[in-house]
Structure 1
Amino acid sequence: MTAESLSQLSAAHQTSGFLKVLVIAVNFPPDAEVGAKRVAGFCRYLREFGIQPVVLTVEDRFHRVLDETVPVPQGVPVVRTSFPNPLHWYRRLRVQLRRNPKVSVAPEEVPPAVPKGGFFRHQLLALLETPDEYWGWYFPAIRAAEELIHTEPIAAVLSSGPPWTSHLIARHLKKKYRIPWLADFRDPWTSNPWRRRLPQWRQHIDRWLEASCLRWADLVACVTDGMRTLFAEQYPVSAAKFVTLTNGFDGSNSTKPRTTFQSSQLLFLHLGELYGGRRIDTFCKALVDLTHAGIINPANTKVLFVGPNDAAIVAAAQQVAPELFRNNCIEFKPRVPWDEGQRLLDRADVLLIFQGDHSCGVTAKFYEYLRTGKPIFAIVTHGDLSAILKTTRSGVWADPKDPEDIASKFVDVLNLPVRSSEEVERLAQLYHFRSLTKRLAGWIRILAVP
């Protein structure tokens, strides 16, 4: 442990009357992944409910992208550990091999849904990523966790995934020390529709690991009711331990609800990554049809995608709407820090979500959108997201396969009624991380206090 970690633990040790919870998560600030904000949101407010979190995570250098604008919650001790990463060694070897012109290798990348590089490479990558690319953290994290358990009165363990290695670490601690364990599943593990294709042997291993974690956990938090129902159907013996704890947002409502569109140019904003089964080509086709019909004017309409994007998704969209790309009606920009993203939300008129055929899930960006009071337009099949759009009256949704439906709903979203500040505040309070953490703290106390 670092000197800073020991200092934080010493200060936390002096906190009397607090239950101590070990939080195990790969994603934690300054990690830019959206899962880090969920974990940080819970840790930020647990102390208000008499629970002191102690976070165990990886060193910053193991995160793909860092965002220093998302702060580590104050008063929360954080232990960051290193770990050997065979997948990184494999990629480093490939880089060396590529320098030899006599050796032919495929481009260095995480394999997409259709594997490249042949059968052997596909099998090797599946092995090196079992259950995920952070599996090398398992033993270093267990050593750090056991040291904490021997020096701190840890009353419960909270693990959050993906990555799934966090749950395997917590499962080990549950088995060895019989400490109450709450497993936070931010996505389904083996039944995720965006899960890339894997060898059959790997599917069996992951299914066994998932079942084992769900069996050993004392409580399993799912981010949507649909996901909770899915788990209950797949694992009926454990159904009683599944609960719903949605994603949420933190901070105050810094943006103002729309009273009218803000300028002569309408800004439609998608903030976040486009990957997996998402598609925007049918949305772009709908824009083309609306342009030809004279319903929208490309000169005063801007559709802005901000964040990493799958090149195949963008290429498909460019093919159906080349003119809208040429005149910058549709534009792509790279990922921006969180605070800059909030300023973009403030400028936008309509907020976009592309969730494809994933019916069992609500993207975390929905909750960030919700607090703005601005209309949300979701391109998604009927399911959890369409249901919450209806219950919150926060927007409309359209079939991702149907450009005509998208065009019709595009017009509808422009005519949504004005939302009062009171309505926005009421909805926002339901999904603020303080409110969500209150529920989480109640479950932790039930598990940890005999």
Structure 2
Amino acid sequence: MDKKKVLIVTYYWPPAGGPGVQRWLKFVKYLPDFDIEPIVYTPENPNYPIQDDSLTSDVSDKLTVLKQPIKEPYKLAGLFSKKSSYTISKGIIPETKRQSLIERLMLYVRGNFFIPDARKAWVKPSVGFLLNYLKGNNIDTIITTGPPHSLHLIGLQLKEQLGLQWIADFRDPWTTIGYHKQLKLTQRSKQKHKELELKVLNTADRIIVTSSVTKKEFEGLTSQPIEVITNGYDVETVGETVLDAKFTLAHIGSLLSKRNPEVLWQVLSDLVIENKQFARGFQLNLVGYVSDNVLKEINKYGLIGYTNEVGYVSHSESVKYQKQSQVLLLIEIDSEDTKCIIPGKLFEYMVSDRPIIALGPKGSDVESILKETNTGAYFYYDAYGMLKTTILDHYKAYREGSLQPYPIGLKKYSRKALTESLSKLI
């Protein structure tokens, strides 16, 4: 029997780096195990702010990857300010009071002239190309994944013209995502975003989200079926790793300006001052982009001398850091809008066999998952006492050689198990 074919429309694909590429790279890897043949449609000349060539090893030689050119406004914007264009294209938006005139202008243009986002010009040519391809290749199911949410407009138009099955996958929310408020949107632009969001949610046959918080939000906007399929972990072969000799707390990934828990820096500062033995053995490893605001706060608390700013590394290198660190840090912005954010690295953290300390808003999906899997401790931004006690307990266990987590029920978060759930929807 021939495998069922499904077309996946995604902006992020190797050699793109960062978390956005991982989800569908892994789904595509495992779908053939469930008698589904994936076909990937992606831009030919994208403007990826981060690249990671190591991820290409997960792309099968047998996979059909269709590519069409895309016009990228960030490339044009780079002629005016390369640094600002690069920063904003990564989703890193400076605080309002620190924005330059060119940054304020770029944000206004991005928010009001490119709705839903800067990749909107790819919609029309993609629909024209895919209409012919779908008709000639016996494909009756398409999946679009956003952000960028403009890709859902490709699915919307193909659904309206061909009547095929369309599944819309939301890796992040649309109008309630944190940075939306920073785009200097006019009332008319806000309304346009909401109209497009509603149309997508009510036209797609099925909607996939990565968190139960997003599912609850979308249930207030549509009666279409919504499934939660989280991100997950894959079996990573990185060779033998040895635990750090020092008591390392490591954060893997971007630390944006608002992802800056003063309570954590205060606790670490006090421990360094109060405990000479702790001070001799402690190191804070920051693996990935770190905003100047975060570094200034760390410096304010006298921790720069204990901080190793590693910078961006490949995915395989980041896995090594996860496995060799004594404790892993997961930090989210303390905001109502971030309760639904489950960073992809959480699941890799969970199988790294290292304890996790997470900070974020009350009632988040991350808090629930950590509790359910017994993989770490979750704290709010005002939990000084409990956070200090936990770090001290971890330090004592490290000194005794007994620091380790005792996870339960992780198997359902494996990429293969999650792909099986996806295959049932297809």
Q: The TM-score by the shorter chain falls in which range?
A: 0.7 to 0.9
Match of 2:145, SS state, is strand
Q: Structure 2: how far apart are the matches of 1:263 and 1:289?
A: 23
On the 8 A contact 2:45/2:70 being kept in 1, the answer is: no
Judge which range, 82-91 or 303-312, deviates more. 82-91
Measure the CA separation in 2 of the matches of 1:125 and 1:158: 26
| Residue-by-residue CA offset, 1:278-319 (whole Å, 9 max, x unaligned) | 114331111011222228622211110111122222223322
SS in 2 for 1:153: coil
Equivalent residue number for residue 429 of structure 1: 411
Matching residue within 138, 159, 172 for 1:153: 138
The separation in 2 between residues aligned to 1:253 and 1:305, in whole angstroms, is 22
Instruction: Give the corresponding residue for 1:410.
Output: 391
The residue that corresponds to 1:76 in the other structure is 63
**Which residue is equivalent to 1:302?**
283
Superposition deviation, residue 402 in structure 1 = 4.2
1:243 aligns with 2:227: yes
Change (3 A) 1:43 1:315: same
Q: Are 2:355 and 1:375 equivalent residues in the alignment? A: yes
SS in structure 1 of the partner of residue 164 of structure 2 = coil
Q: CA deviation at 1:122?
A: 4.7
Q: CA deviation at 1:128?
A: 3.9
TM-score by length of 2: 0.87
> What's the counterpart of residue 271 of structure 1?
252
Selected match of 1:63 from 48, 69, 83: 48
Letter paired with 2:69: S
Task: Work out whether residues 45 and 69 of structure 2, in 8 Å CA contact, stay in contact via their aligned partners in 1.
Answer: no
Which residue of structure 1 lines up, in the alignment, with residue 16 of structure 2?
31
Give me the whole-angstrom Cα distance separating, in 1, the residues matched to 2:45 and 2:34. 29
Matches of 1:435 and 1:107, distance apart in 2: 38
CA distance, structure 2, for counterparts of residue 22 and residue 149 of structure 1? 8
Q: Which amino acid in structure 1 is aligned with residue 424 of structure 2?
A: G
**1:162-201 paired onto structure 2 within 5 Å:** 162-197=147-182, 198-199=184-185, 200-201=187-188
Q: Give the structure 1 partner of residue 265 of structure 2.
A: 284
Structure 1, gaps ≥5 residues long:
1-15, 99-105, 445-450
Q: Residues 341 and 95 (structure 1 numbering): CA distance in 2 closer, same or farther, change over 3 Å? A: closer
CA contact (8 A) 1:194 1:276 kept: no
Partner of 2:75: 88
Aligned-residue RMSD, C-alpha? 2.7
2:331 to 354, 368, 376: 354
- CA, structure 1 residues 391+295, in 2 after alignment: closer, same or farther (shift >3 Å)? farther
Would the alpha carbon gap of residues 156 and 301 (structure 1) be closer, same or farther in structure 2, given more than 3 Å must change?
same
CA pair 295-183 structure 1, distance change in 2 beyond 3 A? farther
1:363 deviation in Å? 1.1
The change in CA–CA distance for 1:61 and 1:212 in structure 2 (over 3 A counts) is closer
The code of the aligned residue for 2:347 comes to: Y
Aligned to 2:343: 363
Distance 2:321 2:86 in 1: 33
Deviates more, 1:435-444 or 1:377-386: 377-386
CA distance in 2, matches of 1:134, 1:248: 27
Q: Does structure 1 retain, via aligned residues, the 8 Å contact 2:287–2:311?
A: yes
Letter in 1 for 2:70: F
Alignment match, 1:50: 35
What letter is aligned with 1:307?
Answer: G
TM-score of the superposed pair, with normalisation by structure 1: 0.83
Cα distance change on mapping 1:147 and 1:411 into 2, 3 Å: farther
- Contact 1:28 1:40 (C-alpha < 8 Å) held by counterparts: yes
Between 402-411 and 58-67, the greater mean CA deviation after superposition: 402-411
Q: How does 1:2-41 map to 2 (within 5 A)?
A: 17-41=2-26
> 1:229-278: CA deviations, max 9, x gaps?
1221x31x42x511110100222576899xxx945411111111112631
Larger mean CA deviation between 57-66 and 296-305 belongs to: 57-66
CA 1:175 to 1:122, structure 2 compared with 1: closer, same or farther past 3 Å? same
The 1:215–1:295 alpha-carbon spacing in structure 2 relative to 1, beyond 3 Å, is farther
* Equivalent pair of 2:243/2:326 in contact (CA under 8 Å): yes
* SS class of match (2:191): helix
% same residue: 22
Matched, 1:208 2:204: no
How many residues are paired up?
A: 407
Name the CA distance, whole Å, in 2 between partners of 1:344 and 1:252: 13
Q: 2:339 and 2:312 mapped to 1: Cα distance?
A: 26
Offset from partner CA, 1:76-98 (integer Å, 9 cap, x none)? 21112212234432442x259x9
